[in-house]
A and B are shown apart, each in its own frame.
Chain A
Amino acid sequence: MQMELTLLLAVGGILAGGFGALLGLGGGILVVPLLTLGFGLPFREAAAISLMGVITTSSSSAAVYLRRRTANLRLGLTLELFTATGALVGGLVAFALSERMLAGLMAAMLIYTAWTMLRRALSERRDAAGAAAQAPTRGAAPAADPAVPADPAAAVAGADPPAGDPPTVGAPVSPSTARGSYVAALGGSDYVVRRLPFGAALAFAAGILSALLGVGGGVVQVPAMNLVMGVPLRVSTATSNLMMGVTASAGALVYVLRGQVDPYVAGPVVVGVFLGAVSTSRVAHLVPTRILRLLFVVVLCYTAFEMASRALGLPIGPLGA
């Protein structure tokens, strides 16, 4: 019994971390349903343990993105000010909300994630069909990189930033106009950061979401940086990953100090999520992710249904039994 439960927790963590890395999701979106529906843990405990997994995977991948200069440390630090504040608020609000309310919010989050994954899978299919149709007329033109997601909302937590040069967004930075401006200093060599106040507001919202539901918040953060602030998708994804650590730790501190973390559950899950994320990222290019993504949409929808049932107080299926 003891060995089986420990192994189940570790394997669950491996699957959550592995699927997260394959599909560009943070482990949090999977760990919370696993622990609440699969192991019957209270939502807040599951969210707290999930945040531990999020911090671990974020720290390991952020180290790589920083070394490769894909993540923008200056921009990340600036936005962390708002995500961490949001996480502090979210961590406190989580204790004021009922388990059913939290389950309902999680169900909505799962449906939104399933929707972004479905759109991504469909856009990949369109891109592949378009490339195949144009292939005879293009001659030696290179095919579109399937690793580049067409939908920024889909390039969420834990995703490996798309390969290749970051797309140039916004006007090039002019040293004469940029000098002395804090916002200009946050940009990169070929992009400028726009609408920082709006981006900061969204970062605050991402922080609340992260602490409330035990997720990374990349599902809000990446589109906010890419679409609102004009940061290239590759940089947005990597910077969001970097920020996730601070965001999750602000929320996790509240949970740890309030005694919501069970070390006997957190240990195997954290080890599993880390092993799953690290090992899967090495073989991700061998897996047909489009088909996997479509299958996973079904899994997410089913989990959302279970969560919604719990939120509404209805009899729940085998996962929640």
Chain B
Amino acid sequence: MPEPAGRRPDTVDAAARVLATGTYVSVALAAIGTFLMLLAGHVPVTQRGPGLDLARLPAELLGGRASAFLWVALLVAVLLPSARVIVAAVGYLREGDPRQSRVAVAVLCVLVASTVIALVTK
């Protein structure tokens, strides 16, 4: 059932918290990455940034590379809506609404399918 006006179910608040926190983390990382990019003398538009390499990302992040901060910021942003859907799936299950939880899981399946298809057809 829809959220009653007087009651504040945890699911909606938890989803809101995930989105707010994730956005600030993502924007902060993007700002740090942009600052590091300026320090390193990289020129945007004319000089293309390195592609995403998940295996090297942790080491590059620790090494303070601009592109690593930027990629982590972008990955946090892209995965944030999925995190909100996971929170909703778990939350509705806890609230005793397995049907709504299944819908959230189905949305996640579409997002996973996006990833798989993009990788397969790369």
List chain A positions with a Cβ less than 8 A from chain B: 1-3, 5-6, 9-10, 39-41, 52, 55-56, 58-60, 62-64, 66-67, 69, 72-74, 77-78, 80-81, 84-85, 87-88, 91-92, 182, 185-189, 245-246, 248-254, 256-259, 261-268, 270-271, 274
Q: How far is the CB of A82 from chain B (nearest CB, A)?
A: 9
Q: Can you name the residue of chain A whose Cβ is closest to the Cβ of B113?
A: A88
Q: How far is the CB of A85 from chain B (nearest CB, A)?
A: 5
Give which listed residue, A40, A63, A254, contacts B117 with CB less than 8 A. A254
Could you give, for residues 34-58 of chain B, a 1 whenever the CB lies within 8 Å of some chain A CB and a 0 otherwise? 1001100111111111111000000
Q: Does B62 contact A (CB under 8 A)?
A: no
CA of A257 to CA of B111, assembled, Å: 13
Q: How far is the CB of B32 from chain A (nearest CB, A)?
A: 9
Give which listed residue, A6, A85, A252, A274, contacts B38 with CB less than 8 A. A6
Q: Are B16 and A67 in contact (CB under 8 A)?
A: yes
B33: chain A residues within 8 A (beta carbon)? 263, 267
Q: Can you name the residue of chain A whose Cβ is closest to the Cβ of B71?
A: A263
Which of A78, A188, A253, A268 counts the most chain B CB atoms within 10 A?
A253
CA of A232 to CA of B71, assembled, Å: 38
B121: chain A residues within 8 A (beta carbon)? 92, 258
CA of A67 to CA of B110, assembled, Å: 26
CA of A245 to CA of B106, assembled, Å: 16
Q: Are A77 and B88 in contact (CB under 8 A)?
A: yes
Having A73-B15, A267-B37, one finds 18 other A-B pairs with CB under 8 Å, namely A6-B37, A9-B44, A39-B45, A56-B77, A59-B77, A63-B16, A64-B20, A69-B12, A74-B100, A81-B106, A88-B113, A261-B52, A262-B44, A262-B48, A264-B49, A267-B33, A270-B26, A271-B31
Q: List 28 A-B contacts (CB under 8 A).
A: A1-B43, A2-B41, A2-B43, A55-B78, A56-B77, A58-B81, A59-B84, A62-B16, A67-B13, A69-B5, A73-B15, A80-B85, A88-B117, A189-B4, A246-B81, A256-B78, A257-B118, A262-B44, A264-B42, A264-B44, A264-B45, A264-B49, A264-B67, A265-B45, A267-B30, A270-B74, A271-B27, A271-B30
Q: Are B70 and A81 in contact (CB under 8 A)?
A: no
Q: Are B99 and A182 in contact (CB under 8 A)?
A: yes
Query: Interface size of B by Cβ–Cβ distance < 8 Å?
Result: 67
Give which listed residue, A52, A91, A248, contacts B74 with CB less than 8 A. A52
Q: Can you name the residue of chain B whose Cβ is closest to the Cβ of A68?
A: B16
Could you give, for residues 84-122 of chain B, a 1 whenever the CB lies within 8 Å of some chain A CB and a 0 otherwise? 110010000000000110011011001101110111011
Could you give, for residues 1-18 of chain B, a 1 whenever the CB lies within 8 Å of some chain A CB and a 0 otherwise? 111110000011101110
A185: chain B residues within 8 A (beta carbon)? 1-2, 100
Give which listed residue, B71, B80, B118, contacts A59 with CB less than 8 A. B80
A5: chain B residues within 8 A (beta carbon)? 43-46
With A73-B12, A189-B5, A249-B80 as contacts: A88 and B114 at CB distance below 8 Å: yes
CA of A59 to CA of B84, assembled, Å: 9
A182: chain B residues within 8 A (beta carbon)? 99
Q: Can you name the residue of chain B whose Cβ is closest to the Cβ of A185?
A: B1
B104: chain A residues within 8 A (beta carbon)? 77
A3: chain B residues within 8 A (beta carbon)? 38
Q: Are A246 and B111 in contact (CB under 8 A)?
A: yes
CA of A173 to CA of B15, assembled, Å: 26
Q: How far is the CB of B93 from chain A (nearest CB, A)?
A: 13
CA of A245 to CA of B30, assembled, Å: 18
Q: Are A270 and B30 in contact (CB under 8 A)?
A: yes
B27: chain A residues within 8 A (beta carbon)? 56, 270-271, 274
Q: How far is the CB of B112 from chain A (nearest CB, A)?
A: 9
